[in-house]
Structure formats: C-alpha cells, structure tokens
Structure 1
Amino acid sequence: MRELNLDQLRTLVAITDLGTFSAAARALHLAQPTVSLHISELESRLGATLVLRGGRKVEPTAAGAVLVERARRLLRDADDAVDAVQRHVEGRIGRVRLGSSTGVLVYLLPEVLKAMERAHPDIDVEVSILGSAEAMERLAQGTLDVGLVALPQPARPGIVLTHWRSDPMMAFVPRAWTVPKRITPQWLAARPLIFNDSTTQMYRLTMEWFADAGLSPRTRIELNYNEAMKSLVAAGYGAAVLPLEHAGEQLHQGVQVVPLRPALTRHTAVVHRPLEAVDGATRNLLLTLAQFRQV
C-alpha cells in the first residue's frame, strides 16, 4: 500500500467537520471534483468505505472515524514540523556558537546578549572563551558560527571579516607606583611586566609596540585571563598592557590606568561564514552585533 497523502487526509477531516463535499471544497479552495477524487483514492488505498454519501450531511463510517482521529494528529504534527522549520529558517529559533576573548565577554558581550534575549528569546547563544587564532580555526572547521577576534588576521577563503570596534590599549599599573602622565615603552620596559600568552594576538600587538622603540622586554608572567592580570597588577606584582574595553570599566582598587605614548589600539572584528551559508539564527546574531558596532 502506498503512503497516505496528507492533502487527502486534510480533505477527509474537512468533510467530516463541515458535513458536505461542497463546503469542504470551499474551505480548502479546491474544486469539488478534486475533493471527491481525494476521498475515492483514500478509500481505494485502504480498501474501506470512509464516508456515508447520499444524506443531507456526509457522515464518517466507523473506519472513517478511526482514520479522522489519527489524521487530526498527523496533520497537527505536520503543521508543527513546518512551523518549526520556518522558525528556524527565519531565525526565530536555533542555536549559535559564539567565540570571544574574556575581556570582550566581560565588558562588551552582556549588552549584546541582553539585546538578543529581548529580540530573539528562542535563540540560544552558546559562548566559548577562545583566543583569536583558535576562533578562526574553529570557524574554518565549522565548529563555530561567529567569532570576535583581534586584528589583523590572515585572510581565509570562505570566511567574512568585518571590523566591529576599536579600543585604546592602556598601561594598567599598581596604584602605589609613581607614574608619568603618559607611559612610554622605555619607562614600562624597566618594570616587571604581566603579558598575555605569547600565542595571542594581544601579545604580538604589545611586543610590536615595544619593538618599534627598539625594545624586547621580558615578562614576569604570561596568562590569558585579563581579569586575573588586573588582580596581579592590583597586588603590585607588575604592570600590564590591556585594552580599555568599557569607558565605565570598574577597576580594582589597587590599579591605575595610564595612556600610552605612542598610542596603541586594539581592533576587534566579527568573523563568520558568508551570509548565504549561515542559518537564520546566526544572521540575527550578526545583525544584533552590528547594532553595537563602532562607526
């Protein structure tokens, strides 16, 4: 026996509910011969009479009543499946895997995630703390949907990179230190230093700043958690060069933030696969991130 046809089942339910073939035809926007054909094909397929014809109102047979009951469930499930797919395509529901550094996560992403929750409550944004190189690699492998990465990054085929924001790099130094109004590479190189790990874009950016002054300082400790670095600065362990990611950033009591001379800027980009290759949920996250982009 061939599989049941949902359109024919919908016709049977409509006839049962409305009582006549003509009423079902009007409700379903079908010609009446098409409605009659749907029922006759169903009866032929099942080898059973499904409706009693000839009276003022069409009534289902016992076999027809059993099929109508099951058909209602099948049609409801089919409608739910179509709606679920449509919501996924339109980006009203889904899951997006987002990679970000700790600093961006702590100071910049909360407002983005709040906006996503408000506009798209059925989209789950799954955030992973990743360095820029790992985020780029996972994006290329297809295990990440969107990354917030430090620039510059080498071009990769099939990956779109869009500037998102620029943040000034500052010297975070213990409050007990006596410091100039602007800190130079020469002044900072003579102090104990706390840097990001040497594999990170932040480390390379900072070391290039020193290298332009002809310096190659040694670090006292390297780690990738900016808040831990600030805690060590507050304890007097050393100084760090980090982005000031939020104008109202709450600083540790024992930390002072001093501008650099020459100035240094950390640029952040949004990276993702081409729009035609991403789902609706990812597109909605990208649109939300764009609302927070620095012009």
Structure 2
Amino acid sequence: MRNLNLDQLQTLVAIADLGTFAAAAQALHLAPPTVSLHIKELESRLEAELVVRGRRQAELTPAGEVLVQQGRQLLLAAADLAERVQRRASGREGIVRVGVSAGVSTRLLPRMLDALARRSPGVEIRLEAVGSADAMRRLAAGTLDVAIVASPQAPTPEVRLTPWRSDAMVALLPAAWNAPDKISPAWLAPRRWASFAPATQMHGLVAHWFGQAGLYPRPFLALSYPGALKSLAVAAQCAALLPLEEVEDQRHTPDVQIRHLDPPLVRPMAVAHRQQPEPTPAVASVLEVLREYGDGA
C-alpha cells in the first residue's frame, strides 16, 4: 500500500466536519471535481469505501470514521513538524513541549514562563497537564521534551532526571478552626481534610505521612488541582494539604491559617528530559530557567 496523501486526508476530514462535498470544496478552496478525486484516490489507496454519498449529506463508513479519528492526529503532527522546520529555517528557536504534574505550583509556573519569555522570546512553550508516570512514558516516546515530575521515578535509559525542588507541605485550615501550632496526623485524621487524587504521587506522599503514625484515614475529598483544594479551605469546608509554595499568597488572608506539619512532610520534584538527541537550544533555554527556580539555584 502506498503512503497516505495528507491533502486527500484533509479533504476527508473536511467532509466529515462539514457534511457535504460542496461545503468541503468551498472551505478548502478546491474545485468540486478535485474533492471527489481526492476521495476516490484515497479509497483506492486504502482499498476501502470511506464515504457514502447521500442526496443531502455525505456519511462516513466505519472505515472512514477510523481514518478521520486517527487522521486528525496525523494532520496535527504534520502541521507541528512543518512549523518546527519553518522556525528553524527562519532562525527562531522553536517549540518545547513541557509536561506539568498536578503538584507544580500554580504561582511558580507563571513566574518561570515570564522569565523564559524575557530571556528567550523565540521559544514557544506548549504546556500539557500530565501525571508523572505518563510524562516519563511520553518523554521516552518523544512526544514531550521536558517534564516536571514527582520524585522518585524509576530511571530509564531514554530519560534524564535531575532533582529540582523539595517543597515543604503545610496544612491550609479555615480561620475558624482552633488549631495547634503544628498539625500532626493524629490531630488531622478525624477532621475534614482534602488532598490530591489517588492517581497522583502527592496522594501517596500524604498517605505515607498518615501511615507512619499508624493511621489510614480517607480524605473528605480528593482533587487534582491545587487551586480547588485552596478554595475548599477558604470556604471553611475542610483543611487542605498543599506545598507551602502554593499557599504563600494566602499567608495574610483572614479566611484561612497556615500550619506546618509535625512530623515534617516534603514534596520532592525532579526535572526530566530526553537523553537523546542532545537538547536543542530551545530545550536548553527551558532547562536553564528551571534550574534557576530549583533548590540548588
């Protein structure tokens, strides 16, 4: 079988989106016979009927639906590749795909992006919210360039891990609670508290903190976004266990109080990037900014 023609694939996707050959021709600035020829050649190439031509609408066959679903991703990848080539040819630095786990501070991230924009305006960051385990797999597969992940992670030959930050965890409590100076597992366990969702390593970190005291309480609520956890405490619904960096903006807010944990709990994070090929100048710029915001800066 010959390779797919992307122009023909784009024509099929346009028909799927717009419903008729005529509408697809108009949207793609093609003559109607050209649209028909694209579909005929695509069906011949794949030896499969892709479109049923009705009186008013064109409908995809099951084979056509599969091709459109996967073809959208192929067209996006092709567009991304073309943009990368054009950026390199014009001297612009390029696109860097960065995976960010739920535990990364929503206060710290904008500061890092601002620093990168001022230093390397030619670098475009494409952020993706992705769990640490998925980020490691995607780095190895080459669909991410850099990721901020929870530590530790199992080492792989494709990915390099560098310790980044070890942020203290704290309890964000409603202001009305009569709380001790430091929050212990025994004090918090019988009360309403919220933390990160079970799919995150942050959840395991908190569970281990309770487990060391012989306690295994279930959270009142488990969420994936730090901002939502903060909102619960501000609304006097429950306590939230979060990195100190995430709640610094709440330090002088009358609705909540911040307490350190006893025993202390630290959230370690690492920066991960692909070992091969060597980092491009754009990726190197991102890694340099991340280093400046790490513990060792």
Measured against the shorter chain, the TM-score band is: 0.5 to 0.7
Counterparts of residues 88-103 of structure 1 (less than 5 Å): 92-102=92-102
**Counterparts of 2:148 and 2:93, CA distance in 1:** 22
Cα offset, 1:146, TM superposition: 0.5
Q: Distance in 2 between matches of 1:83 and 1:185?
A: 53
Give 1:141 shift: 2.0
Judge conservation of contact 1:103–1:245 (CA < 8 Å) in 2: no
Tell me whether 1:282 sits opposite 2:280 in the alignment: no
Does the aligned pair in 2 maintain the 1:175–1:255 contact within 8 Å? yes
Distance in 2, matches of 1:260 and 1:83, equals 48
Q: Which residue pairs with 1:109 in the alignment? A: 109
Measure the CA separation in 2 of the matches of 1:126 and 1:174: 36
| Kept in 2: contact 1:160–1:272 (CA 8 A) | yes
Separation in 2, partners of 1:83, 1:169: 41
The AA in structure 2 aligned to 1:254 is D
Whether 1:142 and 2:130 are equivalent positions in the alignment is: no
Q: Distance in 1 between matches of 2:290 and 2:207?
A: 30
The residue type paired with residue 233 of structure 1 is: A
Matched residue, 1:197: 197
**1:220 to 1:115, Cα distance in 2 relative to 1, 3 A:** same
1:95-151 Cα deviation digits (max 9, x unpaired): 001111355252112222112111111110111122222222221221111101111
Number of equivalenced pairs: 211
2:126 equivalent in structure 1? 126
Task: Give a deviation string over 1:198-226, Cα, whole Å, max 9, x none.
Answer: 11010000000000000000111111011
Q: Deviations over 1:58-78 (max 9, x none)?
A: xxxxxxxxxxxxxxxxxxxxx
1:230·1:255 contact (CA, 8 Å) conserved in 2? no
Tell me, what secondary structure is at the counterpart of 1:236?
Answer: coil
User: Which amino acid counterpart does residue 269 of structure 1 have in structure 2?
Assistant: A
**Offset at 1:291?**
1.9
Deviation for aligned residue 1:240: 1.7
Distance 1:270 1:182 in 2: 31
1:275/1:283 contact within 8 Å kept: no
| One-letter amino acid matched to 2:184 | T
Q: Normalising to structure 1: TM-score of the pair?
A: 0.66
Unaligned runs of 5+ in 1: 1-80
Structure 1 residues 288 and 232: CA distance shift in structure 2, 3 A: same
Shift in Å, 1:184: 0.5
Query: Residue 171 of structure 1 contacts residue 260 of structure 1 at CA under 8 Å; is this kept in 2?
Result: yes
1:150-229 matches, within 5 Å, as 150-229=150-229
User: TM-score, normalized by length of structure 2?
Assistant: 0.66
Structure 2 match to 1:292: 293
Q: Deviations over 1:161-187 (max 9, x none)?
A: 001111100011111110000110000
Q: CA RMSD in A?
A: 2.2
CA contact (8 A) 1:99 1:128 kept: yes
Name structure 2 gaps, 5 residues minimum.
Answer: 1-84
Secondary structure of residue in 1 paired with 2:245: coil
**Counterpart amino acid of residue 238 in structure 1:** C
The 3-state SS of whatever aligns with 1:154 is coil
What is the identity, as a one-letter code, of the residue corresponding to 1:97?
A: R
